[in-house]
Amino acid sequence: MKKRALITGVNGQDGSYLAEYLIGCGYDVIGTLRSAAYRKDYLLNLEGFECVEADFTSQSKINDLLLAVKPTEIYNFAAYSSGSGMFDDPIEIAEINGVSVARILEGIVSIDSNIRFCQASSSEMFGFVDETPQSENTRFNPRTPYGAAKLYAHNMVNIYRKHFGVFACSAILYNHESPRRGLNFVTRKIVNAAVSIKNKETDKLTLGALDVKRDWGFSEDYVKAMHLMLQYGYPDDYVIASGVAHTVRDICQIAFDHLGLDYRKFVEVTQSSSRAPETLDLVGDSSKAREILGWKPSLEFAELIRMMVDAEIKSFK
């Protein structure tokens, strides 16, 4: 039987890369949008793909969606944006990033308990970390409403897996980027500004602390890991990360160097843009995914940033 994947939040970078990948694997793919009018260009001519509008605030509508689509696998990317919006509207963040996941899992139990489910969890669940790197066994201590809501969803995945027997996995994703990343994320903000400066559209870039470190990888690599999780013999949770920390300064240097510019001449630092200081780095230990699933990233950090710059140049032209 041909597999059918339901991808929530398909408009985002993760959902769109996964849709392309699964269609290449022979799947029928259905993606959910809040409104079909907002379908992104890279999904418009994708053969074997269809999109539907969905409301994840209603249990009955989720059940109706599962009955209509009849998916064999569900990948959940529907979420209130992170990036600079981790503290925006905590109630809405809790509803979409947390409670809606419980509704999807409840829908699986009610409609078809054979559906396999993968949740896009987040390294933000670790928050104020007390060890580096972080693994699946590291204590969670979220520092934002976004991280807290993701942790609720993560816990519900575990509950439905253990209590109801749902094949439910949680992918604890560290920062992952691509040319499809939104401008509210620092990687794309830097790349966009660098190209704009090169083309004399602007003359400076304002950022917070440049020495903040994160573990950055490539979106397409990370969604492939989620697919591997649902093909494995039993459900589990996995950290998906590069395992290497880089600074915001590193992004600036690579992006501007790729354009023949010295970032120090154009980047202005303001403390008002800075987050609270961190004592330990948020870096993932993905050895479990590498050993059990055979997963590994395909792009190094510098390659990723240069690829984003090249895509931004094409978009600018």
DSSP 208-244: S-TT-EE--EEHHHHHHHHHHHHHSSS--EEEE--S-
Rg (CA), the chain: 19
pLDDT tens digit string along 154-183? Answer: 999 999 999 999 999 999 999 999 999 999
Q: Residue 15 is encoded by which pair of tokens?
A: 């959902």
> Is the pLDDT assigned to residue 267 strictly greater than 90?
yes
Domain extents for the chain? 4-176+218-240, 178-215+244-282+298-316
pLDDT tens digit string along 104-145? Answer: 999 999 999 999 999 999 999 999 999 999 999 999 999 999
- CATH number for domain 4-176+218-240, candidates 3.30.1490.20, 3.40.50.11900, 3.40.50.720, 1.10.3720.10: 3.40.50.720
Helix pair 219-231, 13-24: axis angle to 10 deg: 60
Percent of all residues in the chain with a pLDDT value above 70, rounded to a whole number? 92
pLDDT tens digit string along 49-98? Answer: 899 999 999 999 999 999 999 999 999 999 876 555 567 789 999 999 99
> Is the pLDDT assigned to residue 272 strictly greater than 60?
no
For residue 208, what pLDDT is reported? Answer: 87
Residue 262: count other Cβ atoms within 10 Å of its Cβ. 11
Q: In whole angstroms, how far apart are CA 171 and each of 65, 187, 215?
A: 23, 22, 15
> Is the pLDDT assigned to residue 273 strictly greater than 70?
no
pLDDT confidence band for 46 (50 / 70 / 90): confident
> Is the pLDDT assigned to residue 41 strictly greater than 70?
no
For residue 88, what pLDDT is reported? Answer: 74
Q: Return mean pLDDT, the chain.
A: 92
Residue 67: count other Cβ atoms within 10 Å of its Cβ. 12
For residue 1, what pLDDT is reported? Answer: 79
Please compute the mean of the pLDDT values over residues 194-222 and round it to a whole number.
Answer: 95
For residue 213, what pLDDT is reported? Answer: 93
Spatial contact of 293 and 179, defined as CB atoms under 8 Å apart: no
Which residues are 49's β-sheet partners? 29
User: What are phi and psi for residue 189, nearest 5 degrees?
Assistant: -60, -45
Nearest to 83 by CA among 153, 135, 13, 5: 13
pLDDT confidence band for 47 (50 / 70 / 90): confident
Architecture of domain 178-215+244-282+298-316: Alpha-Beta Complex (3.90)
Report, as residue numbers or ranges, the catalytic residues.
122, 124, 146
Please compute the mean of the pLDDT values over residues 238-255 and round it to a whole number.
Answer: 98
